[in-house]
Structure 1
């Protein structure tokens, strides 16, 4: 079993198809099939259930997948550590919340790229739960998420704090009581979003059960529907204030107990903190602090 076999195995597992894996790796399909068969023969177990629509991991395949991800990451990390000198370079895979990516990341990425152009940055967005999972699976070197994050395998660095506010269409009057929220649709991100959890915790604390919840995949979708009067949402004030340049929105302050949410940069404890990562954290903290001073 060599590294390339594991890469092929993970590609097939990820794509759920030998054909798509072959296209992704730019291999001949028959070659991929032979390598998988040889790997199964070597390990004396079936790794995939073959189906007409594709392939699906067996129990043994699931076990190998978890080890293969660690083995490939450690091989890549060994190369990074041995070549990690004083100047950051090479790939850096970062994850971020949609809201952080929209408001905070542009200045961070611009500053970082200007200082370290030899680093090949890539970005993935998702909810806090999704990003935590990707970091744990070694698919990201680190990610911006909202606190709290409690996992013994993760190391967290607080880089800044976001203030959350309830936002509605500017056409709506101020709410006399929070009971008025019962008449609105709650516009939220998918389950796993920390801001959604914060909103649900606040409503529970207020004793309010919303009439309806509508889920979205993007911040633009939520803000557009808030503007149209479809409902209300809980978002960072930095996002809302930027959006008011284009949309007619109204901000409603909620209980201080639920307004402050630290933004964390998380990474696995068992990974080497490269110069590229440490410099990214440093610049992120500086840019967050700079933005916070401008917002005062």
Structure 2
């Protein structure tokens, strides 16, 4: 099987996986659509497994395809590393794929990205957003070079490099904040709780803190955008869980207030990478600069 595999088949597989369409995959690779179709058919013939389900709305990986994808990403990564080594790079180049939470990117990482892209113009920095589990899965499956997560996953196959401590707070409008000061936090039992979703570690910790204060979340709203959360809460629509740094401007203008809870919520964000991933010259340089920036 291995001796029959060709690099272009792996590239076609990854393009189809990410684009979800034969035509878009062909456009991305500069092929005609029939070429991508042929490459995928060759892969399925060589592996003896169906790798994609074809539907009118697009494609999805089969179970065999999910297994194959891990090796396909490793191939692409190793090809890039080999290319860089052979060229004896004096300056980082190529692609770095990293996934982080939206709130961390907007409040902490954006200044680093601006500086890094200015100093390393030949690097294609592909940054994605995702939940803690999305990020961890991407690193485990070799889909990503790096991830940034809110706490150490404590896995034997993952290396964790602490970046910074993040304080999380409950925020609300002046009106709701005043009610809490006058009547106590129990009035939050009747208010809408807004977070970025139950899959977020912030949300889990928040529910525990609320429970300890005698507050049961009866009505919750999930919003993926940090800006949407802030705007929604500013209108007096419930209270939200956000990184403290994310509402500095709103605290200065009085648009939002921090609700008084005795329990402090903080998370040690860190950079994660698969223990068995062979980092390219560019990836090593990126890791070093990111950790240096935040230190």
Structure 1 length-normalised TM: 0.85
Deviation at 1:280, TM superposition (A): 3.8
Match of 1:292 in 2: none
Deviation at 1:210, TM superposition (A): 1.1
- Say whether the 8 Å CA contact 2:179–2:187 is kept in structure 1: no
- Say whether the 8 Å CA contact 1:160–1:285 is kept in structure 2: no
Q: Secondary structure at the match of 2:175?
A: coil
Give the one of 269, 272, 287 matched to 1:266.
Answer: 272
Give the one of 52, 64, 71 matched to 1:67.
Answer: 71
1:31 paired to 2:35: yes
Q: Secondary structure at the match of 2:172?
A: strand
Distance 1:247 1:125 in 2: 29
Q: Secondary structure at the match of 1:271?
A: coil
- Say whether the 8 Å CA contact 2:157–2:274 is kept in structure 1: yes
Distance 2:65 2:124 in 1: 32
- Say whether the 8 Å CA contact 1:12–1:21 is kept in structure 2: yes
Deviation at 1:274, TM superposition (A): 4.4
Distance 1:238 1:263 in 2: 14
Distance 2:214 2:85 in 1: 52
Deviation at 1:194, TM superposition (A): 2.1
Q: What is the 5 A alignment of 1:171-190?
A: 171-172=175-176, 173=178, 175=180, 176-190=183-197
CA gap of 1:145–1:82, structure 2 versus 1, over 3 A, is farther
CA gap of 1:121–1:90, structure 2 versus 1, over 3 A, is same
List alignment gaps of at least 5 residues for structure 2: none
1:141 paired to 2:148: no
Distance 1:36 1:274 in 2: 28
List alignment gaps of at least 5 residues for structure 1: 290-296
What is the total number of aligned residue pairs between the two structures?
Answer: 288
CA gap of 1:242–1:54, structure 2 versus 1, over 3 A, is same
Q: What is the 5 A alignment of 1:36-185?
A: 36-83=40-87, 87-172=91-176, 173=178, 175=180, 176-185=183-192
Deviation at 1:105, TM superposition (A): 1.5
Give the one of 217, 236, 244 matched to 1:210.
Answer: 217
Deviation at 1:69, TM superposition (A): 2.4
